[in-house]
């Protein structure tokens, strides 16, 4: 078939026009979203924003969430200590309280068995091993753990594998719920 024959056939075919559709109504998300009741209590699944000052028993501040740098997380999503989440659940926006979390509900009790002594030559020659530094230790079986150097002598290094906050009750002062989303 020649190009001119094909063109003649295509020109002779009538194409039916589609009927015009009515324009769609614009929907806005804002019309579907109800504003949150400011008296509504925080619950699992809510994204909450809080402010607080967290201290150890000696008064030392170990964490702080301020209006310039608040802490936001989703309740029930394991993004905070369960006891911390429990304290916030049921709070309303603007509510303030002070809570203390027992060591067993925070980072556990301090365990003597988590402190080990290893030969100094376990570390690479020339490695800067100083009290207070953290080192990654590889154990048999392929596990690794970050441990804190708590003692160094000529032939031995003492390491502590406890969490730095293990054994301490944690007090959150002026824990204020700023927002629920």
Average pLDDT by consecutive 10-residue portion of the chain (181 residues)? 50 50 54 62 97 98 97 98 98 97 98 96 89 92 94 94 97 98 94
In whole angstroms, what is the distance from residue 121 CA to residue 30 CA?
Answer: 65
Side-chain-side CA neighbours of 76 within 13 Å: the count stands at: 8
How many domains does the chain fold into? 2
Residue 52 lies in a domain: yes
Q: What Å distances lie between residue 140 and 93, 116, 126, 137, 146, CA to CA?
A: 50, 14, 23, 10, 15
* Residue 73, domain extent: 37-108+166-180
> Which residues face 113 on adjacent strands?
none
In whole angstroms, what is the distance from residue 181 CA to residue 51 CA?
Answer: 15
pLDDT of residue 180: 96
Alpha-helical (H) ranges within 43-146 are 82-88
pLDDT of residue 35: 58
pLDDT of residue 139: 87
Residues 132 and 103 in one domain: no
Residue 67 lies in a domain: yes
Please tell me whether the overall predicted TM-score, pTM, comes out greater than 0.85 for this model.
no
Residue 24 lies in a domain: no
């Amino acid at each position: 078939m020649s190009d001119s024959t094909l063109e003649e056939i295509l020109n002779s075919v009538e194409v039916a026009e589609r009927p015009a559709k009515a324009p769609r109504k614009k929907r806005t998300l804002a019309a579907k979203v109800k504003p949150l009741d400011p008296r509504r209590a925080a619950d699992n699944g809510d994204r909450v924003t809080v402010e607080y000052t967290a201290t150890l028993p000696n008064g030392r501040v170990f964490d702080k969430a301020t209006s310039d740098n608040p802490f936001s997380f989703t309740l029930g999503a394991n993004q905070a200590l369960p006891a911390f989440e429990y304290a916030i659940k049921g709070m309303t926006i603007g509510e303030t309280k002070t809570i203390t979390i027992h060591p067993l509900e925070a980072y556990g009790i301090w365990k003597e068995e988590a402190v080990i002594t290893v030969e100094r030559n376990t570390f690479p020659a020339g490695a800067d091993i100083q009290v207070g530094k953290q080192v990654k230790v590889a154990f048999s079986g392929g596990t690794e753990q970050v441990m804190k150097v708590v003692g160094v002598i000529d032939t031995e290094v003492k390491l502590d594998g406890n969490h730095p906050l293990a054994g301490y009750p944690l007090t959150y002062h002026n824990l204020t719920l700023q927002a629920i989303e």
